[in-house]
Structure 1
């Protein structure tokens, strides 16, 4: 991390002094960087002139005292509070009182790090992401004593280095590690409830929603020795706030050394670094076209989409006020299970299959029969959404379908509503602005949209409906809606809307 920060600073024309407590390590890292840049130059990514300029701005020093004239010091050492505190105390005896001291910590309190300093007002967080040259965002964190001018300087410096600086309060996880809690923890909750297996969940969230990696594939890549302690840390730092509750499974896997890709086994198995997909039995039974389909939906727009799909694919529609006894009943619902929906719509649960209307079901369809749905109707629903459809280029494609067990809310609904709700709660706490939350998450986590933007795209009222029904159904306070989401959904306004100041 330190070398990556040094690299982007040097590329911006800034003179950088490199120090490592391990003698000779800084020099070895610099030589490694020179080799990397040479390879990139051969690929046309850099000119030899730019490489020479970058390397000329980097100078290794062997004694910490040699950095006395530095205007900014960025530490990127081990995540240990006492060691960082001692380093910052040592730095104060070397640099001028005007020099800024920045920590690249990802999990420790900036205020706590600064607490042993004589001038805590010049200490700030400057949290980059790995690999630094490619992840073009940096969290700029203000401790309780940090001067605003220090934050302004670091924001401007980030821009000069080609990065976006986003400001955050000194809270557990800052922006990215805080906002990222919902993705994995809710997926684990769904897995623990035996609603779907880990591969089905990954499939729904990648093919159906658009995440680059599913939560379980991502945890395998990161390693549970890294991700599980972060889950526990943020949960405990927030005094067991239910929204951040970890799952016992990852602790058990950590204890069993099933860490992920690095050891060859986590949720998936890996051979020579490549993921090995588990065996999944094919649906050998023939699909059966329905006699007709009766459609019910919580939102008229969703009903219209399904009916248009049925018409385009020449599937008969039951237009009666109450479904015929031989009709497949499709219910497009939010935040509840198929049984409750069947009762609410006053239809025979044996005919019902629920469909997640959050997804573009012409790309990926998530279906949920009730516990008593006749097999015949489940097969009919599978037939309806496994048909070849036409995309924008008039090329025939086959929709993928995932069938899950009954759950209060579908996989995508639960995960997305938790991501959006958590970001709204962060905005309500003024941890960061909605815009900074979105930018940090899109760049830092690679989500298709920022969570606030995503909430607006899906509709705040939809997200609120999902959470309110989940809360009633489960009684779990993890699903309580954020006041930020609640008020904006009720007023029908954007989630970016901030409170007026008077």
Structure 2
């Protein structure tokens, strides 16, 4: 992929959209970031700069020229983009609408990537103008620190689209592992159930969040435990993903537990709000 001729659209200026934008521009790929929320858009460049500094401190920032970032509220500004990455909230109806809108203005053959956490790619493909152009790429948070990406090939994903998505991820210096479609794919089919059970253990008074996570780190070698991971993902996103998995698998084990729902209702969504299972201090835009 020739970075000089690329312009990527990232849909959604939330946690993942900004982080994916950071990853792309750090690797020399210019980005047009789209969101209907003008407040989020106004703060997005500052959040990207902060993450670029963090990536540099962690030794994961490439030593090349950082590409430009533009922001817009209109998908009509995306005519001519060479790839699209969708990273809006994990709500099926919202994702379907955003993907339908963007594929109406992009050229045939433009790869469109959904960063869905749990919604089957083929379900979203029914909403787009060209299902063969759609694939999934489940980035881990933060994507500029975690190199491996779970790539999902839907039943209607074309060979050309998959090849372009893999080339795009390679240009971002990511390692791709391609899996088949299905609710939650691999990572979240396992991880979200684990988070839910860990939250239920805390709810029942069996152990504190710190002790749950310490056991996973000390006994199983995890870098972070399930509840610290949940705070990083965002507890609202965890609850949304669990509902998707429950509805599409029929497995009641994915029903979000009461403690998780109580925290979401209280606005304690994890790192992005300053409090979740842990207290993360004051949040700055």
TM-score normalized with structure 2 length: 0.72
Please identify, of 124-133 and 20-29, the stretch whose mean Cα deviation from structure 2 is larger.
Answer: 20-29
1:16 positional shift: 2.7
1:176 positional shift: 1.1
Q: For residue 27 of structure 2, what is the aligned residue in structure 1? A: 12
Q: Does the CA contact (< 8 Å) of 2:55 and 2:145 recur in 1?
A: no
Residue 189 to residue 126, structure 1, CA distance change in 2 (3 Å): closer
Q: Does the CA contact (< 8 Å) of 1:121 and 1:147 recur in 2?
A: yes
Residue 38 to residue 155, structure 1, CA distance change in 2 (3 Å): closer
Asked if 1:177 corresponds to 2:188, the answer is yes
Asked if 1:103 corresponds to 2:118, the answer is no
Q: Does the CA contact (< 8 Å) of 1:105 and 1:126 recur in 2?
A: yes
1:105 positional shift: 1.7
Distance 1:185 1:24 in 2: 32
Asked if 1:54 corresponds to 2:69, the answer is no
1:24 positional shift: 7.0
Q: How do 1:189-200 and structure 2 match up within 5 A?
A: 197-198=207-208
**Equivalent pairs, count:** 264
Say which SS state the counterpart of residue 167 (structure 1) adopts.
strand
Computing the radius of gyration from Cα coordinates, the structure with the larger value is: 1
Q: For residue 13 of structure 2, what is the aligned residue in structure 1? A: none
> Which one of 114, 118, 124 corresponds to residue 113 of structure 1?
124
Distance 2:99 2:201 in 1: 43
Q: How do 1:72-111 and structure 2 match up within 5 A?
A: 72-111=83-122
Q: Does the CA contact (< 8 Å) of 1:188 and 1:247 recur in 2?
A: no
Q: For residue 45 of structure 2, what is the aligned residue in structure 1? A: 30
Distance 2:129 2:167 in 1: 25
- Residues 396-433 of structure 1: per-residue CA shift (max 9 Å, x gap): xxxxxxxxxxxxxxxxxxxxxxxxxxxxxxxxxxxxxx
Q: For residue 134 of structure 1, what is the aligned residue in structure 2? A: 145
Residue 239 to residue 5, structure 1, CA distance change in 2 (3 Å): same
Q: For residue 2 of structure 1, what is the aligned residue in structure 2? A: 17
Say which SS state the counterpart of residue 165 (structure 1) adopts.
strand
> Which one of 164, 167, 190 corresponds to residue 156 of structure 1?
167
Q: Does the CA contact (< 8 Å) of 1:73 and 1:101 recur in 2?
A: yes
Q: How do 1:10-409 and structure 2 match up within 5 A?
A: 10-23=25-38, 25-26=40-41, 28-34=43-49, 36-37=51-52, 50=64, 53-55=65-67, 57-61=68-72, 63-181=74-192, 183-184=194-195, 187=198, 197-198=207-208, 202-216=213-227, 218-219=229-230, 224-240=235-251, 244=253, 246=255, 250=259, 253-254=262-263, 257=266, 266=277
1:93 positional shift: 2.9
Distance 1:206 1:120 in 2: 41
Select the structure with the greater relative contact order (CA < 8 A; seq sep ≥ 6).
2
User: How much is the aligned-residue C-alpha RMSD, in angstroms?
Assistant: 3.9
Distance 1:12 1:155 in 2: 15
Residue 164 to residue 249, structure 1, CA distance change in 2 (3 Å): same
Q: Does the CA contact (< 8 Å) of 1:109 and 1:172 recur in 2?
A: yes
Please identify, of 124-133 and 3-12, the stretch whose mean Cα deviation from structure 2 is larger.
Answer: 3-12
Unaligned runs of 5+ in 2: 1-15
- Residues 188-240 of structure 1: per-residue CA shift (max 9 Å, x gap): 6777898x544665554333332334445555666654434533432332112
1:265 positional shift: 7.5
Distance 1:16 1:93 in 2: 19
